[in-house]
A and B are shown apart, each in its own frame.
Chain A
Amino acid sequence: MSTIELAAVTRWYGNVVAVNDVTMTIGPGVTGLLGPNGAGKSTLLHMISGFLAPSRGTLTVGGAPAWHNPDIYRTLGLVPERDSVYAALTGTDFVRSTAKLHQLPDVGAATARAIDMVELADAADRRISTYSKGMRQRIKVAAAMVHDPGILLLDEPFNGMDPRQRLQMMDLLDKLGAEGRTILFSSHILEEVERLSGTIQVIVAGRLAASGDFRAIRRLMTSRPHVFSVRTSDDRLLGATLLGRPAVTGVELTAKGLLVRANDYGAFCRELAVLARKHDIRLLELLPSDESLESVFAYLLAS
Chain B
Amino acid sequence: MSGMFNGTVASITLRATLGRKRALLFGVPAVILILVTLALKASHPATSDWPSLILGDFGFTVVVPLTALIIGGSVLGAEIDDGSIVHLLATPVCRSTVIMTKFAVAAALTMVLAAGSELVSGVIATGGATKLVMALFVGALAGSVIYNALFIMISAATTRAIAVGLLYVLVWEGLLGNFVSGARILSIGHYSLGIANAIAHDSALHAGLSLTTAVVMGAIVTVAALGVAIQRLASFSLRGDAV
* A residues adjacent to B (C-beta < 8 A): 13, 16, 18, 37-43, 45-46, 49, 51-53, 68, 70-71, 73-74, 76-78, 80-82, 84-89, 93-94, 97-98, 100-103, 140, 143-144, 155
Contact = CB atoms under 8 A, between A and B. Distances in A.
17 contacts: A42-B240, A43-B243, A46-B238, A52-B239, A53-B235, A70-B89, A73-B90, A78-B90, A80-B83, A82-B83, A86-B87, A87-B19, A88-B18, A98-B87, A101-B93, A103-B92, A144-B90
Scoring B9, B88, B241 by chain A CB atoms within 10 A of each residue's CB, the highest score goes to: B241
A292 B73 CA distance: 44
A84 B90 contact: no
A101 B18 CA distance: 21
B15 A16 contact: no
A73 B87 contact: no
B105 to A, nearest CB: 14
B241 A84 contact: no
A140 B92 CA distance: 17
B12 interface: yes
Given A51-B86, A140-B87, 20 more contacts: A37-B242, A42-B238, A52-B237, A70-B94, A74-B92, A76-B90, A78-B90, A80-B87, A82-B83, A84-B86, A86-B87, A88-B15, A88-B16, A89-B19, A93-B15, A94-B87, A101-B91, A101-B93, A103-B1, A155-B240
A159 B87 CA distance: 19
Contact of B91 (A16, A82, A89, A98): A98
A76 B63 CA distance: 44
A128 B164 CA distance: 32
A103 B8 CA distance: 10
A70 B86 contact: no
Interface in B82-106: 82-84, 86-95
Contact of B239 (A39, A46, A78): A46
Nearest to B8: A100
A86 B93 contact: no
B19 A88 contact: yes
Given A18-B243, A39-B241, A73 B92 contact: yes
Contact of A84 (B9, B11, B82): B82
A13 B15 CA distance: 36
B240 A45 contact: yes
A143 B87 contact: yes
B236 interface: yes
Contact of B87 (A45, A52, A81, A85): A85
A297 to B, nearest CB: 14
B183 interface: no
B163 interface: no
A86 B19 CA distance: 9
A149 to B, nearest CB: 10
A85 B84 contact: yes
A46 B19 CA distance: 28
A93 B9 CA distance: 12
Contacts of B241: 18, 37-43
A143 B8 CA distance: 14
Contacts of A73: 90-92
Contacts of A102: 91-92
A37 B241 CA distance: 7
Nearest to B20: A88
A38 B92 contact: no
B53 interface: no
B237 A38 contact: no
A212 B86 CA distance: 30
Nearest to B81: A84
B39 interface: no
B20 to A, nearest CB: 8
Contacts of A97: 8, 11-12
Nearest to B84: A84
B192 to A, nearest CB: 32
Given A51-B237, A101-B8, A101-B9, A70 B83 contact: no
A46 B240 contact: yes
B53 to A, nearest CB: 40
Contacts of A45: 240
B234 interface: yes
Contacts of B239: 13, 43, 46, 52
Given A88-B18, A97-B8, A101-B88, A16 B238 contact: no
Interface centre among A45, A86, A89, A101 (most CB of B within 10 A): A101
A86 B234 CA distance: 21
Given A18-B241, A86-B15, A70 B92 contact: yes
Contacts of B11: 97
Contacts of B1: 101, 103
